Amino acid sequence: MAASGVRIGLLGGTFNPIHLGHLRAAEEIAEAFALDRVWFVPAGQPPHKDPSPVVSFAHRLEMVRRAAAGRPGFVVSDMEGRRGGPSYTVETLARVRRRIGRRADLFFLTGLDAFLMIHTWHEFRRLFEQAHFVVFSRPGSSPVRMERLLREKVSERYDWRPDLRAYVRPDWNRVYFHRITLLDVSSTQVRGRLARGASIRYLVPEAVREYIESNRLYASVGPEEKGQG
């Protein structure tokens, strides 16, 4: 159980594969919100995704472990793979909350695009009872749609607090909007490049690139991915 005053961030996702954008978001949010630890939680069986292009949980977990290695404060959890069945975020947050206790601060980290679809998630209103939210996006993006979603789909009880720069519920849980450094990379892009034999160097951590190469994940790999450059 976490001690009182500990601040923990949770970044879930398919991580198919994890890339530098994931890591940079975690790094900047950990710094901005003074997080003691960021837990990376790969989805066991993503309920919103076609399973055909998703590599096994074991592969995705190992790639996340390699990506997070050597960064103090980055923790990788296999809880969703061990649980089995569809990976519902509401169940993961409840499990983490039970583990760390009510006195620790828990922050759920999610991109703006995912947040704008959160009303389609399983028991989505319960998510906001378990943790603060940090919704991150690129510079230049606007939180207007996020504000509308909070009002219309989530709850009318959120109030904007300028002193906290957050939307606050009566139970004091908050939703923050945080801009991060622009890194134009996505897992879809990485998989697409691999499928056509193009380089993914500098889009993913080198240890992840090497793992993808050695296990021949995501179809064929090009000459540079074979270590010839």
Taken in order of first residue, the domains within the chain and their CATH numbers are 7-179 (3.40.50.620), 187-226 (no CATH)
106: nearest Cα among 38, 188, 7, 12: 7
User: For 37-54, what is the mean pLDDT?
Assistant: 80
What's the pLDDT score for residue 156?
A: 66
Cis previous bond, 205, omega within 30 = no
- 3-state class (DSSP) for residue 136: strand
113: nearest Cα among 138, 84, 87, 133: 138
Q: Are 43 and 87 in contact (CB under 8 A)?
A: yes
Instruction: Please give the Cα distance from 131 to 173 (Å, whole number).
Output: 6
What's the pLDDT score for residue 225?
A: 39
R_g (Cα) of the chain, nearest Å: 18
Cross-strand partners of 76: 40
Most confident of 6-15, 38-47, 94-103: 6-15
User: For 22-30, what is the mean pLDDT?
Assistant: 97
User: For 4-22, what is the mean pLDDT?
Assistant: 94
- CA of 138: how far to CAs of 27, 79, 110, 214, in Å? 14, 29, 12, 33
Above 60 in pLDDT, residue 227?
no
18: nearest Cα among 209, 213, 222: 209
List CB contacts of 165: < 8 A, sequence separation 6 or more: 176
Mean pLDDT of the chain: 88
* pLDDT, tens digit (0-9, with 9 covering 90-100), for 166-208: 999 888 899 999 999 988 899 999 999 999 999 999 999 999 9
What's the pLDDT score for residue 150?
A: 83
**Location of structure tokens 């691999």:** 194
* pLDDT, tens digit (0-9, with 9 covering 90-100), for 107-125: 999 999 999 999 999 999 8
What's the pLDDT score for residue 49?
A: 58
Share of the chain above pLDDT 90, in %: 69
Above 90 in pLDDT, residue 21?
yes
User: For 5-12, what is the mean pLDDT?
Assistant: 95
Phi first, then psi, for residue 93 (nearest 5°) are: -65, -40
Residue 51 confidence class, pLDDT cut points 50, 70, 90? low
197: nearest Cα among 168, 170, 167, 223: 223
